[in-house]
Amino acid sequence: MAKSMTKAKVADYLAGKLELPKKTVTMFLEEMAQLAYREAKNTFTLPGLGKLVLVNRKARMGRNPQTGEPIRIPAKRVVRFRVAKAAKDAILGNAK
């Protein structure tokens, strides 16, 4: 399995591709992340990739895996990333 790209590798690649200083690209990536964190509650879209959305999970019953005892899992808000159809098609191919 190939290693995933680190932030430094992404910045390196984009700096070379766009002919920009690596420091500028790194600042852009950091600002993009901060913007995504701030706007996630309103749904933050990365065109062509997907969107960050807040989802309310209902309370539910679960099981303690060690004892098998039923436990109540409280309701909570979670962040989800919904992958865009274009990204799915580009990564997986258009298999039908």
Domains present along the chain, CATH in parentheses: 1-40 (no CATH), 43-96 (4.10.520.10)
Given a cut of 80, is residue 94 above it in pLDDT?
A: no
Residue 85 Cα distances to 22, 31, 52, 61, 91, angstroms: 31, 26, 14, 33, 10
Given a cut of 70, is residue 95 above it in pLDDT?
A: no
Given a cut of 60, is residue 34 above it in pLDDT?
A: yes
Which pLDDT does position 2 carry in this prediction?
76
Nearest Cα to 81, choosing from 38, 31, 46? 46
> Percentage of residues in the chain with pLDDT exceeding 90?
88
User: Across residues 63-85, what is the average pLDDT?
Assistant: 94
Parallel, antiparallel, or unpaired for β 60-63 and 50-57?
unpaired
| pTM of structure | 0.74
Which pLDDT does position 93 carry in this prediction?
86
Q: Token pair 């969107």 is at which residue?
A: 51
Please name every residue paired with 32 in a beta bridge, in sequence order, or none if there are none. none
Given a cut of 60, is residue 19 above it in pLDDT?
A: yes
Nearest Cα to 37, choosing from 52, 19, 59? 52
User: Across residues 13-23, what is the average pLDDT?
Assistant: 95
Which pLDDT does position 3 carry in this prediction?
85
Q: Give the sign of the dihedral formed by CA 58, CA 37, CA 29, CA 18.
A: positive
Q: Compute the distance between CA of residue 55 and CA of residue 76 in angstroms, rounded to an integer.
A: 8
